[in-house]
Structure 1
Amino acid sequence: MKTKAVLEFADVKTIAAAAEAEALKNNWAVTIAIVDDGGHLLWLQRMDGVPAVSAHIAPAKAHTAALGRRESKIYEDVINQGRTSFLSVSAIGGMLEGGVPILKDGQCIGAVGVSGVKSAEDAQIARAGIAAIGL
């Protein structure tokens, strides 16, 4: 039997605080979602002024990154390069940049999804959150 790392609530709060700080530093209003390795929601934070739809998009991006164990941008790129059949995958819906997996020792332990600004900025915020726990 193997032992694997898991996100603790203290980690989730640290990630969320750092992601929020990155957003505030840049005057970006966003929704931040954090999920476990199965894509289950652990944290959802919608900042003031963010459209309600972002509360659906951010968790979807995080879910996609966790289940795929890679950034959600990968799927966006594949679709944009013409492989539109990916749009038929029912288990994942956040196939836009802004979902970043949390990897420890090569294993996915969760993901962060952000929605509300340009996709590259969403990803920047997610990475800042993850960096706060040293990953």
Structure 2
Amino acid sequence: MLNMLSIGLEEAETIIAAASTAASAMNVPQNIAVVDAAGHLVAFRRMDGAKFSSIDIALAKAYTAAGARKATGDILPATLPGQPGFGLQSLNGGRLTTLGGGVPLEVDGQVVGAIGVSSGSVDQDRQVAEAGARAFRPIGG
């Protein structure tokens, strides 16, 4: 039997608060998604002014980071034409993405969830996601 950890709502809200603070400091309203280890949504925030068209992108970034167990931007080189992962973005009904802004959340090397951010540039999304991930502290663990 496997005993797996997964992120909870209180932790997700702390991550979203930190990401929102970073986005506000940059003056870039963002869509911020936090998913559990299986890629299921735990918490979401759409900041005032964030692009509604980026909601699904934030969700895809979080889903991909949790499933791949690595930052979405780090996956990109392997998915370029001629590389072994080319076409990855078309799998899972288009739910996978290699756009930067998805970061896995780990406890003792085990992925317990992920954050996905979208509405700014890819670099802004990545910075905001990383700020949220830095705020992650397991509760009760």
> Which TM-score applies when normalising by structure 2?
0.85
* d(CA) in 1 for partners of 2:89, 2:9: 33
Q: Distance in 2 between matches of 1:3 and 1:38?
A: 14
Secondary structure of 2:92's aligned partner: coil
- Report SS of the residue matched to 2:123: helix
Structure 2 CA distance for aligned equivalents of residues 44 and 103 of structure 1: 19
Q: Deviations over 1:41-66 (max 9, x none)?
A: 11111112222111110000000000
Aligned-partner residue type, residue 102 of structure 2: G
What is the match of residue 107 of structure 2? 104
Partner deviation per Cα, 1:110-131 (whole Å, 9 max, x = no partner): 0000001121221111111121
Partner of 1:89: 91
- How many residues are matched? 135
Q: Distance in 2 between matches of 1:66 and 1:101?
A: 5
Q: CA offsets per residue over residues 84-124 of structure 1, 9 Å max, x none?
A: 33233226422211100001101000000000112122111
Q: How far apart in 2 are the matches of 1:82 and 1:98?
A: 24
Residue of structure 1 equivalent to 2:27: 27
2:53 aligned residue: 53
Between 1:18-27 and 1:4-13, the stretch displaced more is 4-13
The question of whether the paired residues in 2 share the 8 Å contact of 1:72 and 1:96 is answered with yes
Query: Where does structure 1 lack aligned partners over 5 or more consecutive residues?
Result: none
Is the CA contact (8 Å cut-off) linking 1:62 and 1:94 kept in structure 2? no
Equivalences for residues 1-135 of structure 1 within 5 A: 1=1, 3-80=3-80, 82-83=82-83, 84-90=86-92, 92-134=95-137
DSSP 3-state at the match of 1:29: coil
Output the amino acid matched with 1:64. T
Structure 2, unaligned runs of 5 or more: none
Taking structure 1 as the reference length, the TM-score comes to 0.89
Whether the aligned pair in 2 keeps the contact of 1:98 and 1:114 (CA below 8 Å) is yes
Q: For the Cα contact (< 8 Å) 1:75–1:86, is it kept in 2?
A: no
Q: Percent identity?
A: 37
